[in-house]
Amino acid sequence: MELSSRGRLMPASPIRRLVPLADEAKARGLKVFHLNIGQPDIPTPPEMLEAMRRFEGPVLEYGPSGGLLETRVAMAGYLRGLGWPIEPKHVLVTEGGSEAILFALTALCDPGDEVVVFEPFYTNYSGFACMAGVTLVPVETKVEEGYHLPSRDVIESAIGPRTRAILYSSPGNPTGTVFTRDEVRTLVDLAAKHDLFVIADEAYREFAYDGLTATGVLDVAAEAGCLDLAILIDSISKRFSACGARIGFLVTRNELVLDSCLRFGQARLCPPTLEQYAAVAGYQQIARYVPPMIEEYRRRRDTVMAGLRRIPGAVCAVPEGAFYAQPRLPVGDADAFARWLLTGFSSGGKTVMVAPGNGFYATAGKGAEEIRIAYVLNEENLRVAMNLLVQAVETWNTNR
Amino acid sequence: MELSSRGRLMPASPIRRLVPLADEAKARGLKVFHLNIGQPDIPTPPEMLEAMRRFEGPVLEYGPSGGLLETRVAMAGYLRGLGWPIEPKHVLVTEGGSEAILFALTALCDPGDEVVVFEPFYTNYSGFACMAGVTLVPVETKVEEGYHLPSRDVIESAIGPRTRAILYSSPGNPTGTVFTRDEVRTLVDLAAKHDLFVIADEAYREFAYDGLTATGVLDVAAEAGCLDLAILIDSISKRFSACGARIGFLVTRNELVLDSCLRFGQARLCPPTLEQYAAVAGYQQIARYVPPMIEEYRRRRDTVMAGLRRIPGAVCAVPEGAFYAQPRLPVGDADAFARWLLTGFSSGGKTVMVAPGNGFYATAGKGAEEIRIAYVLNEENLRVAMNLLVQAVETWNTNR
């Protein structure tokens, strides 16, 4: 009795696979500062929790497979507010953005088909691709270039006969990069030329700093006259600090894609019911809730960068968005370094946990000196955590 | 730009695909009695809703990918109470039993691999198989035999070189059949002989009538000395009338399978957080909550059978469990009949919705005269609904 190939090859999450080591460190009495996972500490809007509490029953029923109408109305209204041509019928509510990605890959790709991604990329794209039997074809982006896209020709050379889509996140996880309008337009144009879809993961849309605005795939595709190729992945997890709600969205004007994804959705019956009411309440609070949150993350980003600048040899462009940085550190094997942070290092009874950067690459060997930092701690803790990191790099390099 | 084969071929749910017709019927002012979907009307234990209300925040966080420890403890305690050798570490919390099935198929099968099922079977097995690229190999069971299993030889003849598992539900959806201990033992023995897994969907475990007790795969596999081949799928949806919670379980003593499924789970981050607290509260109420619920369903089953007996030519053994019946009706094309119930029939401003039976078969043409009835209405409404069905069959046969 053996597992399937994909059952064996499915990658463990680089964000979560060191958790047993963190648990052991905590059992030894250490305080562990978590920079490994994008779990925000910002309070969820209380109105969202209240919306769930208001549910009186008597029966916690299945909702529609495509999501509650009021939730689809709220999401469509939000997107229309951005100027995009979206009605509730273009919105499918999913079990987190995660499920939306899996549905999109499955609807577009048969086993062996290819999807172009830009590495480093959100690590779980690898997991969903493995589950769906899809091959990710990575195009390299570089820390020295702030992880912005290479030239159109370089991207085009990754497109082959089995390519079905281009998948990216912007604002980017793990890079913090916000693609320019020209970059998004290049991807849309390439997709139009080669009969591909563009799957844009915009879960961090509002998380753009220094006056930047993230460009939406629906906006650019509408401008380019090819709305049918655009598939938007979205989520309330980060926007409303509600990761445990498991509410995401797949939004597209392409009826065939939406219908296919709805049939996938029918198989799993429905997304959680109460959290969809919470999502509605969240969107009602967005104007009040989001701007100060973004300002808070901007300050944290500056704290992370101030820390990184104190590490001689560290390379990292200033992240433009999301709440991640993917610096290259002068530590040789960053995976070993990340383990050692939990097993061999401490200072004043404290240590810090980061995600090894190689887990965000499809190409073996790449990202070996990188880590991902999620700046989801308050400034005071973040300062402590960055001090620990600075000190750890120094100790690591002294000892090896 | 085309969809993938699976995106095109993914079946619409036979339970849900007539919903647009039902919506139109309601828009015309008709009252529609829903026997199509297994959405219980029994109140969810208020303690479960209260457990969710008690969550004070401030942050609705990700839980662990494998589920909250307290939820795994509650589930393992429940299974140990049945006498089965299960610890919390053998339990993975999933987004409904649905996700548990998809994880199991994906962990065991590569595209093109086969899984033996017994038709009619829970329709969404087809959907998950399509998503995972798995071929379901159906073994026929017959309404005249109460949908019990055929001989061991017949089942064995469906096993081929690419077979990876046997998948079944008992108590059965849509059949209402409770496999005997001998039947489960036959499946476990065949799996052991041919190096297969047994995936047992026991979401309806307590729903067994007339003194029957559903046999658990873990129990039989332990007895047969081959616990490693047993994968239990479970759910709180029916047991606690909490379908909208989306909390299910994959339980196995096979470490490789569990580890693989946990990695799938890491990709989608976690099941919904608050509903896991609700599940804990549910299991605390099980002794009080479940027995009267089962007695209620037993009465409803009798009401359904009394109705079916009034349809000349209808064939249906008395369902032994779950809350479904899959009768053969003398209507020729049951799919057309089910549509006509929503488009051409009404009596006193009312009609009834059922699921066409062919959607529960993998073999084209089978189940053409069958429907699935979910008896999830209170007795008064169920009596009205069955009267409508009796009348509808008569009208249908008079007119055609």
Q: How many CB atoms lie under 10 A from the CB of residue B290?
A: 17
pLDDT tens profile A128-150: 999 999 999 999 999 999 999 99
Asked if B41 reaches chain A (Cβ–Cβ under 8 Å), the answer is yes
What CATH number should be reported for the domain whose range is A47-286?
3.40.640.10
pLDDT tens profile B360-388: 999 999 999 999 999 999 999 999 999 99
Residue B254: the pLDDT is 98
SS3 of residue A216 by DSSP: coil
Give the chain A residue nearest B20 (alpha carbons): A64
Q: Among the residues of B133-273, which ranges form H helices?
A: 152-156, 181-194, 217-223, 255-267
Give the largest CA-CA distance in chain B.
63
The answer to whether the Cβ–Cβ distance between A3 and B108 falls below 8 Å is yes
Contact predicate A186/A157, CB 8 Å: no
Asked if A55 reaches chain B (Cβ–Cβ under 8 Å), the answer is yes
Residue B38: the pLDDT is 85
Q: Which residue matches tokens 């009307």?
A: B41
Give the chain B residue nearest A63 (alpha carbons): B244
Q: Which residue matches tokens 């200072």?
A: A347
C-alpha neighbours within 13 Å on the C-beta side of residue B113: 22
User: In whole numbers, what is the pLDDT of chain A averaged over residues?
Assistant: 97
Beta bridge partners of B231: B199
Angle B368-B370-B373 (CA atoms, 0-180°, nearest 5)? Answer: 145
User: In whole numbers, what is the pLDDT of chain B averaged over residues?
Assistant: 97
pLDDT tens profile B217-237: 999 999 999 999 999 999 999
Of B1, B46, B275, the CB nearest to A195: B1
* Helix (H) or strand (E) run with residue A305 in it: helix A286-308
Residue A174: the pLDDT is 97
Backbone angles phi, psi at A68, to 5 degrees: -65, 145
Question: Structural domain boundaries of chain A?
Answer: 5-43+288-399, 47-286
Determine the average pLDDT of the residues in B86-102: 98
Residue A70: the pLDDT is 97
Checking if the pLDDT of B51 tops 80, the result is yes
Checking if the pLDDT of B332 tops 80, the result is yes
pLDDT tens profile B12-38: 888 888 989 999 999 999 999 999 988
A–B CB contacts, 8 A cutoff, strictly below: 246
Residue in A266, A270, A377, A378 to test binding to B, most B beta-carbons within 10 Å:
A266
Residue B392 Cα, gap to closest chain A Cα (Å):
27
Asked if B58 reaches chain A (Cβ–Cβ under 8 Å), the answer is yes
Q: Which two tokens stand for residue B382?
A: 């169920």
Checking if the pLDDT of B280 tops 80, the result is yes
Q: Are strands B350-353 and B31-34 parallel, antiparallel or unpaired?
A: parallel
Angle A248-A253-A254 (CA atoms, 0-180°, nearest 5)? Answer: 100
- Residues with Cβ within 8 Å of A330's Cβ and at least 6 positions away in sequence, in order, are A311, A312, A313, A314, A369, A393, A397
Residue B72 Cα, gap to closest chain A Cα (Å):
17
Checking if the pLDDT of B400 tops 80, the result is no
pTM value > 0.95: yes
Fold of domain B46-286: Aspartate Aminotransferase; domain 2 (3.40.640)
pLDDT tens profile B131-156: 999 999 999 999 999 999 999 999 99
- The whole-angstrom separation of Cα A398 and Cα B390 is 85
Q: Which amino acid is at A384?
A: V
Q: Which of residues 206-245 of B touch A (CB under 8 A)?
A: 228-229, 241-245
Say which CATH class A5-43+288-399 falls into.
alpha beta
Chain A residues in contact with B268 (beta carbon < 8 A): 95-96, 98-99, 102, 124
Listed as ranges, residues in chain A with pLDDT below 50 are none
CATH superfamily, domain B5-43+289-399, is: Aspartate Aminotransferase, domain 1 (3.90.1150.10)
Residue B168 Cα, gap to closest chain A Cα (Å):
16
